[in-house]
Structure 1
């Protein structure tokens, strides 16, 4: 007599356990050249952030040509007690923990719209509370209330951030390490509750199930680590690092205002343009639900460090440089206007191209030229997406240029972002090409013949 197939209850429906056994295939392809690349990034990028913290102060002044190496090096601790003070200052750690878990609390209690993510490999969906509007409103309300309580906009919280940049950046690095360890250990817990209904097998990342502890910790073993309803990956993508980026910029403007009695147009411009970018991302968080970071990548040190340390302390390089005495740049109205135009041209390309692709996927633009693949998918080859395979990347890169140009041309340091971002976008394009080649086969070759340019039309 044939035995019935074992089943398990997931989100209220029965699932074949035999199917579940193949849910998490072993990873064979390794990103970043495997373990050596993972180790190199794990130690290399924190050192970059540490270097930025050493030079973005009064020792890198006089329009960027007077880098006092001896005084920069003197900031590096030479004793165990100095290292302990730098890495584990109780006031800095207390402030950061209040910031991080305060945002976690707000994320859980503020109202929002519940939306489903993309379909997972077991056929289920995760629910997300989209509350970027209420989160942003709460932050602005707190800032306005604090400004009304003090004289001459003298906020000790912003001054604390500015005065403790190096310690705060090191704290963010250490915390990102610890969070990566936490989610890695959590990924081995066999079952966990989802939305309070039943249990489900943990879904691992297709990139993070190699069996190598260091590599899987780095790349992210679990796809969507959660504690209850708190989705750690989406939260870190949009909350603590992005909003801290905004506060760091404000702290730089705050410092310059109280030192000079005014804020230069260059620092105002960078702060405004980056704030627009930050809150556009926070307010349009539904777009993150289909990004490769959420749908494909696991949450390990790579994303933890990127979200919590790299974004706030790497992307604020321009405002931190401009706030240093002697580094003030006066743009004038015509250069100010030209950079604003560049920013919104880039933003328009980025937003319009993504909207066109989204509308096409939703069946609204089926009259546009496309090719049908053997998988049943359709690849758009007209409009923005007839210009290059990743025209949205070009728009994003132009936005990055608008953040760097206000710093002038006295130092290459403030142009680090556009150089780094170009390499990141090219790496993403290569990853996407490999994924699509495996998925679409000959159809992808046909697509590349019709749309030969990868990012920049007629150039690359």
Structure 2
């Protein structure tokens, strides 16, 4: 581990020798020629369309409850029900397709499709060939993933924690949460690094068992989706906060229970949002970095940048976990497939595509580009953290504070919950929040772009994250606008009159 960042470069004129000469030559070419897409414009356009519909589908079905924030039993359209069924099938299919692209075709996103062109293969042969590219289950991976979930669940329950409070639920509950993600994250990473350094485990263990872990995570995601559906019907934690749509597929996808729990504090939504996926995020990155080191003898600067940007986001998430209790995932979404499968599979397997890509296609970035990426990532983090800090300080001081050297400008609101009680809240309209109503997403997008650019420009696949995040965040803006208008009424209209832009000042 001490030599994990060993320097080695393919200098101009290097001539690979030995049994791995052709592989090294290919690697050297890849390290130098990072500045070409290697994709034609038609492929680029087709892939962007694919990403667009993915983001549209994943968020559009969520809009329905945003329009009905206080209703308990609602009916949805046939289209929304059908869209939910589509997402239950499409998202695992797409993640499997990405796996095939990465581990059979060198991260060429279109190759799993174009491979069959002009070969005259029968339909059954095409199907079985594609199936052969998919990840295979393994007993060891199932045991390992089960142990991971058990370990995280026990740590969530027993590690001492401070108590955090979320937003008041539609039924009027003010729930408390155990906020101990940061110490659990630190302990977990110390264990991983310590066991790796001692030679007890292979630091590339996760990467080398990626296919089996992928299958195990999918199984777990579906299992907890069904469990959440059954629990909501038979033994809900807070019956008044359930929402029934009348559609089995929609209720499976978006969830029925708002805060399913075991006991008073073991919260499924907080656990799945943070523990199986986000704690693992940087462990996965480190494992693929170790795999890259074992392949080529050093860790590229691009991999280091990806790990640093991901780690910045993840550590901030857990250090400020109390703040996360008031974000859309906890404060508004119900617990179903969207969060159960999404946090078991989508987050750890799709959000780590950059590290996976670089373990297969190692790239050394020029110093100038590396510096530009660092600056972009740092600016994004500054905006991301600054916007959230301003909102928190205004909330904790009841608006009696200074933002950018001036008294905070707020709109004091009154709203009602479904239990008939009246509550007060604040809408901040100065500082970052005076620039646009969701300026925090600008920081998210800058950080997302930085981590993608660290992968160079040979393939579009590692840019999945920024394209998907742009679509997802725009749809979240739509959800937020509808929800806030329903919740705050005239006060929201006043806020929109004062802060005219939704995301980017002067543009949107």
How far apart, in 2, do the equivalents of 1:116 and 1:351 lie? 20
Structure 1 residue 258: Cα displacement: 1.1
How far apart, in 2, do the equivalents of 1:188 and 1:447 lie? 39
Deviations 1:15-38 (A, max 9, x none): xxxxxxxx97213467x9521221
Greater relative contact order structure (CA < 8 Å, 6+ sep):
2
Counterpart pick for 2:148 among 75, 93, 99:
99
DSSP 3-state at the match of 1:259:
helix
1:218 is matched with which residue? Answer: 253
> Does 2:329 align with 1:293?
yes
DSSP 3-state at the match of 2:241:
coil
Task: Provide structure 2 residue ranges, at least 5 long, that are not aligned to the other structure.
Answer: 1-69, 416-423
DSSP 3-state at the match of 1:407:
coil
DSSP 3-state at the match of 1:306:
helix
**TM-score in terms of structure 1 length:** 0.83
Number of aligned residues: 418
How far apart, in 1, do the equivalents of 2:481 and 2:224 lie? 31
Counterpart pick for 2:128 among 78, 92, 95:
78
Counterpart pick for 1:357 among 369, 375, 391:
391
> Does 2:368 align with 1:334?
yes
1:441 is matched with which residue? Answer: 489
1:132 is matched with which residue? Answer: 181
Structure 1 residue 116: Cα displacement: 3.2
**TM-score in terms of structure 2 length:** 0.76
2:217 is matched with which residue? Answer: 172
Matches within 5 A, 1:417-436: 417-436=465-484
Matches within 5 A, 1:124-163: 124-150=173-199, 155-156=201-202, 158-163=203-208
> Does 2:98 align with 1:52?
yes
Q: 4+ residue runs of structure 1 moved beyond 6 angstroms?
A: 73-77
How far apart, in 2, do the equivalents of 1:59 and 1:120 lie? 47
> Does 2:286 align with 1:241?
no
> Does 2:222 align with 1:186?
no
Q: Are the equivalent residues in 2 in contact too, given 1:50–1:170 (CA < 8 A)?
A: no
2:72 is matched with which residue? Answer: 25
> Does 2:411 align with 1:371?
yes
Q: Are the equivalent residues in 2 in contact too, given 1:132–1:284 (CA < 8 A)?
A: no
1:43 is matched with which residue? Answer: 89
Task: Provide structure 1 residue ranges, at least 5 long, that are not aligned to the other structure.
Answer: 1-22, 193-200
How far apart, in 2, do the equivalents of 1:76 and 1:354 lie? 50
Q: Are the equivalent residues in 1 in contact too, given 2:164–2:325 (CA < 8 A)?
A: no
What RMSD in Å do the two structures reach over aligned CA positions? 3.0
How far apart, in 2, do the equivalents of 1:230 and 1:65 lie? 40
2:63 is matched with which residue? Answer: none
Structure 2 CA distance for partners of 1:119 and 1:160, relative to 1, 3 Å: same
> Does 2:252 align with 1:202?
no
> Does 2:458 align with 1:410?
yes
How far apart, in 2, do the equivalents of 1:119 and 1:259 lie? 51
Structure 1 residue 123: Cα displacement: 4.2
Structure 1 residue 42: Cα displacement: 1.3
